[in-house]
Each structure stands twice: as C-alpha cells, then as structure tokens.
Amino acid sequence: MGRAACPSGNLAGRLCRDHLHHCDGLSAIARSLGGGPCRRQGRTDRRTVMKVAVIGTGRVGGVIAPNIGQAGHDVVFGVRDPADPKYAAAGQGVPLTAMAYAGAWADVIILAINWDAVDGALAALGPIAGKILIDPINPYDFMNNLAPLIAPDQSAAQLLQGKTDAVVVKALNQVGSGVMADAPQRRIKPLQFVAADDAAAKAKVIGLLTDIGFDARDAGGLDYARELEGMARLWIAQAFGHGLAPDIGWSLTGPDA
Amino acid sequence: MGRAACPSGNLAGRLCRDHLHHCDGLSAIARSLGGGPCRRQGRTDRRTVMKVAVIGTGRVGGVIAPNIGQAGHDVVFGVRDPADPKYAAAGQGVPLTAMAYAGAWADVIILAINWDAVDGALAALGPIAGKILIDPINPYDFMNNLAPLIAPDQSAAQLLQGKTDAVVVKALNQVGSGVMADAPQRRIKPLQFVAADDAAAKAKVIGLLTDIGFDARDAGGLDYARELEGMARLWIAQAFGHGLAPDIGWSLTGPDA
C-alpha cells in the first residue's frame, strides 16, 4: 500500500483487511490509468510493483518499509497484534497487518527480526511456499562481542532455508538502519549484496533494493550468505566498537571516484 | 631499501647482502641529516621507517613492494633464488634477497604467496619469532568456484598463527593488485581491514597500509580474519564472475560522500 491514500479515508496506515484488499484492487486500476485514489508518491513507471510484507517494526523494518512504499511498491508490516498500541507510532503510514495476513498477501516477505524469533515468525506467517523470503538476520550475540549464535561454518540464511519452503534470499543485513534510511537520497549508493540460489528471486530482490537506493549486486549462491553475515559482523564491530559513524555504508569505488 | 640508490652504484635493485647492510646503515644516517646517498623518493617525515620483506613477486607482492619503497620504507623481496633470471623483471627497483636473509633482516614480513606454499616459505624464512607476519592469503580454490581450501569455520590467518611464533596480522587480502597498485593516487582511499590479536603489531600495520594509500582500519582480533577472507571471496567472485572491474575497491562512504 505504501503511502497510498485508502478509500476509507484512513490515512494513518491502519487499514482493516477489507480496506487493504479494496485499496489494493484500486491500486491496480489506478496504475492502469496513471492515477486514481491510491496515489503513490514515488516511482510510477512500468516496472513490476511488488507486494512486500515487512515482518517486524524494529530499526531495520521501521526504515525499510516506508522507503519501499515511497518507491512505489505495496507494503505492509506484519506484526503479532496490529491492535497493540505499542505499534501505534511504528507504522509511519505503512499498514499494520497480522502475520498470517502478511504471509498470505505478500509476494516478498522481509524477515526483519532477531534470529531467536525465526521459528515463531515462520509459524505465524503460515503457508509461504515459493514466496521470496528476504533474510536480513545477523546471527550474532550483540551483548557478547558479536559471538556467533550458530556454528561458525553456517549462515542464518542456509539454516532458515532448512526451515521453510519459501525461497530464501540473503540481503539487507550488511549495514544498519542509519544507512538504509536515507539510501535513496545518497550520491554514492550504499552497496548491498544479494545471495540466493534462485536466479529469478535474486533478480527481483536486486530490483527491489535498487528501488530503495542501494547499489544492489549479485553476491552468488546462498553459500555466499556466510560471507554477507561476516560483512555485517565487521560493520557492526566498526559501528559499535571502532568508532565508525552508523550512517557509513559499504561501497565499491574505483580510481575515478 | 625502497627505490634508494645504493652506494655500490647498483641501481637495478640487486643488492648483495653487504650492500644491503651498507646502504641500510647509510639510510639511517641520511635520514638523520635529511638527505644522503640512499635517497628516498617518497615520504621523508619522522614516522618510523620499517624494514619490510615481501615474500613472493607475484601480482600482490609485485605491486605492494614498490609502493612500500615509494612510501619511504626499506623493502626487499624474499625469493627462493635471487639469481634466478625469472625474477629479473620482477624487482622494479626493489632488491631481491634470499628468503633466509629477508626473514632475518625484516621487521615486517608480507607473505604474498599461495596457501599451499606456506609451509615451505616458513621453513625458508628461518627464525622470525616476534616479527610481524602479514597474511594476505585467501585460502580458496581459484579453479573451482572459490571453494574453501580449509575448513569453512577457520581462517588461513589463524591456521598460520598455529605454524609460527611470528605475530600474524591479517591484511592486504581484501582486494586484488589492481586496487593496490594505484591506491596512493586515489581520491577515495580503498578500505583495507587489519585483524590481529597484538595491538602494537596491528597499529604498526595500519600505519604501513596508510602509507601506501589505504583507508586502513582495525577490524578486531584475529578471529575477524575469517570475515576478511570472506570479503576477499566476495570481491574475487565480483571481479571474476560478476563483471566488477578489477580496479574497484571496497570503501566506506556516508551520506555526504
């Protein structure tokens, strides 16, 4: 839904399930006509609009979801209980929906939660076979010197793939929210690698990340997720232990930059 | 010795052991006077001049050694047989010395060789206890899709530390020679992380890498070497499999870059 206005007149981003469907249908019509009640503030070209569910309203989810809507995609949050007042400020114009709804509605699901919440979230999402499941999780103990929470020869993404029949794509884990937030406005686009075994899913995610301001690149198969999680360990250590400003991102630059 | 002229008049970089000592002594005197026969083309400030031995004259060693000399440090190559004609073109003004000489002479040794040559090189270097041993090795099978040559939960650096009583510092492995070559001339300095357990050794290597054009940063202890080798796996895959130009390096950039 992004920052689209809902026909219910509810602009707070708290759409009921009917309105979500309703507005979603109107979005499609509006797109075909180049306008309409579900206005998009961002991109309005002919690229595929994705239906993206961001699971979790924390630091990463909280900045990624509005940017996805701003880029012209349909986006909702998936949370435990959309009526819980604790989410009231988190929405930022992005509809809050129940996990099962988000799982059923979305084409692309971003699992912006901690590693220890994965099993519960997968259960709450319900059937998501074949959907794209973006894994931004960094399986490190943030209270204990970034010690790995999993065997050091494994990646969260590969373990996650073992738990679901969705198509796991590793991405959005390599920098913190301070970089994600204003990526669309930056002159030098922050690097964000994407690792997956499914080429079509990977291409779709690279497109989505490009839309929200990243220099998104194919890192290789899901076996490269271990290296992407290592990049995150380095970045987090820089930002929290070595004085790197938390809005500093990775980039790839050459002699002429 | 860097690009210093030797009192023997031998400008080809092929100094005998006596001349190496001789010129080295003159370098120290010359530095104290701000000039002299062992001229330095590069930096001439009061920072500590290091005696650096680069083991191997391959792509990495071949570009790093001249840059180290250019920056005002004393540098030699350590090779199996300095008289072997195959090294004739490799020196680029940097003296070719035997491995045992390089090991005995240097304060800092850069092991710019392949993983499978490590044991032989350590034996040839002789006693190097307490010296700084920079490990730029990436233990991947370059002919087989970058499959790890070691257990995937280990790093070459940690395994190397188990083989020597030198102080192992992981660095100079994260980009290829195309980035290292002109790093001193770049506006955006290429990132190069340094991982080591010994803080003094790490600081010295960060200084050396800064001198040769890198944005050198403390990555953490030697347990972070695994992540730095992962960065190399990503970079190599980009450069050889995903179309990245081989002169593109990592950097850290913010919203104002």
**What is the pLDDT tens value at each position of chain A, 257 positions in all?**
333 333 333 323 333 333 333 334 334 333 333 333 333 334 445 578 999 999 999 999 999 999 999 999 999 999 999 999 988 887 788 999 999 999 999 999 999 999 999 999 999 999 999 999 999 999 999 999 899 999 988 999 999 999 999 999 999 999 999 999 999 999 999 999 999 999 999 999 999 999 999 999 999 999 999 999 999 999 999 999 999 999 999 999 999 87
User: How far B218 CA sits from the closest chain A CA (Å)?
Assistant: 7
User: How far B142 CA sits from the closest chain A CA (Å)?
Assistant: 15
Tell me which residue in B186, B219, B253 faces A249 most closely, judged by beta carbons.
B253
The interface residues of chain A toward chain B in range 203-222, judged by CB-CB distance below 8 A, are 217-220
Q: Does B251 touch chain A (CB under 8 A)?
A: yes
Count the helices and strands in chain B (H runs, E runs): 8, 11
Q: Does B149 touch chain A (CB under 8 A)?
A: no
Q: What are phi and psi of B198, to 5 degrees?
A: -95, 115
Find the closest chain B residue to A226 by CA distance.
B230
- What is the residue type of B1? M
Residue written as token pair 């960065």? B231
Residues on chain B touching A182 (C-beta within 8 angstroms): 255
CA distances to A122, A155, A170, A250 from A205, in Å: 20, 19, 9, 18
- What is the residue type of B35? G
CATH of B47-241, one of 3.40.50.720, 1.10.287.40, 3.40.50.970, 3.30.530.20: 3.40.50.720
Strands of the sheet with B167-170, listed across from one edge = B96-98, B74-79, B51-55, B108-111, B132-135, B167-170, B191-195, B215-220
CATH of A17-137+146-241, one of 3.40.50.720, 3.20.20.220, 3.20.20.70, 3.10.129.10: 3.40.50.720
Tell me whether residues A257 and B251 touch, CB distance under 8 A.
Answer: yes
Helical H runs in B118-221? 118-125, 156-161, 177-180, 199-211
Residue written as token pair 């890192």? A219
Q: What is the pLDDT of residues A39-54, one digit of tens each?
A: 333 444 557 899 999 9
